[in-house]
Amino acid sequence: MVSADEAALEWNEVPRIVAIGDLHGDYEQYLKVLTDAGLISKRGKWTGGDTHLVQTGDVTDRGPDSIAIIEHLEALKKQARRKDGRVHTLIGNHEAMNSYGDLRYVHPGEYAHFTNRRSASLREMQWDYTLAQLEQTQAETLATLDLEQYRKEWEQQYPLGWVEHRNAWMPDGEYGQWLLENPVAVMVNGSIFLHGGISASYCHMSLREMTDQAHQELRHFNPQAPGMIEDPMGPLWYRGLAEDDEQMLIPVVEAILERYEAERIVVGHTPTGGVVWPRFQGRVVANDTGIAAHYGGHEGFLEIVGDTAVAGYGDQRLELPRDDAGREDYLKAVMALQPGNELLAERLQWLQSSAAGPSDSEAGAPPAEDEAGSAQAQGAKAEASDAGAVGVSPDICR
Residue 382: inside a domain, yes or no? no
41 and 14 housed in the same domain: yes
What secondary structure letter does DSSP report for 88?
E
Residue 389 has pLDDT above 50, yes or no: no
128 and 245 housed in the same domain: no
> In sequence order, what are the beta bridge partners of 55?
20, 89
Residue 8: inside a domain, yes or no? yes
Q: Of 332, 325, 368, which Cα lies nearest the Cα of 349?
A: 332
pLDDT digits (tens, 9 = 90+) for 189-211: 999 999 999 999 999 999 999 99
pLDDT digits (tens, 9 = 90+) for 284-318: 999 999 999 999 999 999 999 999 999 999 999 99
10 and 131 housed in the same domain: no
User: pLDDT-derived band of residue 258, with 50, 70 and 90 as boundaries?
Assistant: very high
92 and 132 housed in the same domain: no
3-state secondary structure (DSSP) of residue 184: coil
pLDDT digits (tens, 9 = 90+) for 5-57: 657 999 999 999 999 999 999 999 999 999 999 999 999 999 999 999 999 99
- Residue 65 parent element (H or E): none
142 and 94 housed in the same domain: no
CATH number of domain containing 302: 3.60.21.10
**Average pLDDT of span 126-154:** 92
Residue 260 has pLDDT above 90, yes or no: yes
Residue 114: inside a domain, yes or no? no
73 and 35 housed in the same domain: yes
**Average pLDDT of span 94-119:** 97
Q: Of 159, 179, 156, which Cα lies nearest the Cα of 168?
A: 179
> In sequence order, what are the beta bridge partners of 264?
191
Is the CB of residue 363 less than 8 Å from the CB of residue 346?
Answer: yes
pLDDT in the model for residue 359: 52
Is the CB of residue 381 less than 8 Å from the CB of residue 244?
Answer: yes
Full residue range of the structural domain in which residue 216 is found? 4-101+178-376
Tell me how far apart the alpha carbons of residues 24 and 304 are, in angstroms, rounded to a whole number: 24
Tell me how far apart the alpha carbons of residues 163 and 170 are, in angstroms, rounded to a whole number: 11
Average pLDDT of the residues of the chain: 92
Alpha carbon distances (Å) from 203 to 185, 187, 207: 12, 14, 9
What secondary structure letter does DSSP report for 324?
G
pLDDT digits (tens, 9 = 90+) for 157-171: 999 999 999 999 999
Tell me how far apart the alpha carbons of residues 372 and 105 are, in angstroms, rounded to a whole number: 13
User: pLDDT-derived band of residue 183, with 50, 70 and 90 as boundaries?
Assistant: very high
Domains contained in the chain, number: 2
pLDDT in the model for residue 226: 83
Share of residues in the chain with pLDDT > 90 (%) = 85
Residue 354: inside a domain, yes or no? yes
Q: In degrees to the nearest 10, what's the CA dihedral of 246, 251, 253, 256?
A: -170
182 and 33 housed in the same domain: yes
